[in-house]
């Protein structure tokens, strides 16, 4: 694709108008939306409104007058529309780690006589940590984590497994699991399934209800653009609501929290997954950020995502300076999420040098340069320019400068 063809793609882009709904610093190309989404203007305005008027002027009355108490549910319903979930099945609260701990405990509660928690050995570490913690708490006779390679998952779906929990899009390679197929195969063996949607929600079309998914978690700060530390979300299929009691009990998960009853009575349905007081500043900005999805179809988002990543890959492979970058993601765009990963011995320094040139990518240990594609903010010209700058950084070996080889706390 030549430069004029790239300009033509931008001219016909059905999502081009969305770029104006974000605050984007000039002179930068943001290829890191899969780690922290950019700031929607709506979220910026809502944060100011919350701080200056609702908190600043209306104080504690805002729990009622501005609907603070309902935000976990109102934001949850907006996310439900993005993941193929019907009403009253999605709630915004806590973090992925905490929500996953809740769900794994619930699954073991539902699966009397089964104890194996099956996952993938290169799953996102926090997911494995949560399962390890539950195993330590309950003992291996009640909870045993079994982590295997992706190619071994199907053969390990046996009757001893209580729950299969996987991340839909691998955080390193971007490889995509067949959620519908694996869920069906697990159910054939009586296994419950929990999906981590951290790199899926907001960028991939999902049909959790239609695919029979039992439970899911996801975060609000990646493709949902809710801001650093934005609350996560939790999905619980309605078919399970009356069959368990969520064990991480907190006052907001009580049926009548403001009765201050010392005895425990769980709230019904999805509400019982609440624990402590909601973080209103974060919830409100996430709720506002979700409005950018109101007038678009996720099918269009997915199409542009695959086109952006495919263009980036084709341009990288056309440049002689970049032949030492080894693709670690699936070549077929249909088999990957909205990212590409390349291995290189100097990937950390290359990433730092790229950032200094205004192209914001990220590094994943031990040697991956990871590039994320946020279709609502990126242009096709951005992709062309970013590869030009990458070729310059690598070709001129500017990444060898000492400043780019000193590790920062956050990579």
d(CA 3, CA 49): 43
Pair of tokens at residue 398:
């500017």
d(CA 198, CA 74): 20
At 150, list the tokens: 């992706």
Residue 3 burial (CB < 10 Å; 0-12/13-18/19+)?
Answer: exposed
Considering all CA atoms of the chain, what is the largest pairwise distance in Å, rounded to the nearest integer?
A: 70
Which residues have CB under 8 Å from 90's CB, separation 6+? 76, 77, 79, 80, 83, 233, 234, 235, 270
Distance CA 69, CA 199 (A): 28
Q: Is 302 a catalytic residue?
A: no
Instruction: Taking the CA atoms of 204, 208, 214 and 215 in sequence, report the sign of the dihedral they define.
Output: positive
CA gap 339, 305 in Å, rounded: 8
* Marked catalytic residue, from 73, 101, 124, 293: 124
Please, are residues 282 and 308 in contact by the beta-carbon 8 Å criterion? no
Q: Is 129 an active-site residue? A: no
Residue 175 falls in the annotated catalytic set:
no
Please say if 404 is a catalytic residue. no
- Check 171, 215, 221, 399 and give the catalytic one: 221
What is the b/e burial string over 69-84, where b = at least 16 CB atoms within 10 angstroms of the residue's CB? bebbbebbbbbbebbb
Note whether 268 and 255 are within 8 A (CB): yes
Give the separation between CA 36 and CA 15, rounded to whole angstroms: 20
Q: Which of 46, 102, 336, 370 is catalytic?
A: 370
Which token pair is 156? 């390990």
Residue 204 DSSP SS3: coil
> Which residues, at least 6 apart from 297, have a Cβ–Cβ distance to it below 8 Å?
none
- Give the single-character DSSP code of 208: T
- Token representation of residue 365: 């240990």
Tokens representing residue 290 in the block: 């979700």
Has 10 been annotated as catalytic?
A: no
- DSSP conformation class of 407: P
Active site (catalytic) residues: 124, 196, 221-222, 370
């Amino acid at each position: 694709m030549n430069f004029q063809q790239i300009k033509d793609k931008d001219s016909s882009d059905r999502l081009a108008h969305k770029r104006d709904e974000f605050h984007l610093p000039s002179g930068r190309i943001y290829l890191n939306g899969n780690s922290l989404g950019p700031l929607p203007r709506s979220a910026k305005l809502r944060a100011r409104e919350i701080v200056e008027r609702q908190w600043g002027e209306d104080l504690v009355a805002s729990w009622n007058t501005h609907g603070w108490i309902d935000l976990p549910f109102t934001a949850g319903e907006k996310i439900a529309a993005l993941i193929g979930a019907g009403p009253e099945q999605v709630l915004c609260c806590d973090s992925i780690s905490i929500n996953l701990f809740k769900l794994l405990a619930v699954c073991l509660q539902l699966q009397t006589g089964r104890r194996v928690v099956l996952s993938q050995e290169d799953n996102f570490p926090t997911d494995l940590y949560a399962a390890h913690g539950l195993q330590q708490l309950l003992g291996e006779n009640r909870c045993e984590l079994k982590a295997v390679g992706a190619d071994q998952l199907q053969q390990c779906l046996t009757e001893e497994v209580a729950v299969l929990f996987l991340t839909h899009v691998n955080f390193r390679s971007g490889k995509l699991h067949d959620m519908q197929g694996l869920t069906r195969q697990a159910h054939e063996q009586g296994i419950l399934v929990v999906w981590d949607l951290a790199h899926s929600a907001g960028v991939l079309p999902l049909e959790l209800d239609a695919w029979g998914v039992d439970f899911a978690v996801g975060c609000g700060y990646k493709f949902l653009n809710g801001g650093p530390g934005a609350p996560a979300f939790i999905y619980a299929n309605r078919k399970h609501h009356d069959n368990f009691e969520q064990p991480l009990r907190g006052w907001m998960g009580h049926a009548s929290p403001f009765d201050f009853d010392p005895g425990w009575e769980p709230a019904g349905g999805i509400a019982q997954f609440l624990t402590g007081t909601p973080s209103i500043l974060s919830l409100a900005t996430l709720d506002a950020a979700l409005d950018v999805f109101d007038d678009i179809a996720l099918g269009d988002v997915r199409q542009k995502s695959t086109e952006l990543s495919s263009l980036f890959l084709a341009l990288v492979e056309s440049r002689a300076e970049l032949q030492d970058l080894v693709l670690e993601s699936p070549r077929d765009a249909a088999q990957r999420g909205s990212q590409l990963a390349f291995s290189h011995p100097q990937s950390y320094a290359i990433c730092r040098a790229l950032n200094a040139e205004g192209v914001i990518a990220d590094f994943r240990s031990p040697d991956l340069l990871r590039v994320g594609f946020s279709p609502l903010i990126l242009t096709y010209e951005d992709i062309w320019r970013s590869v030009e700058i990458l070729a310059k950084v690598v070709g001129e070996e500017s990444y060898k400068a000492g400043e780019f080889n000193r590790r920062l706390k956050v990579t």
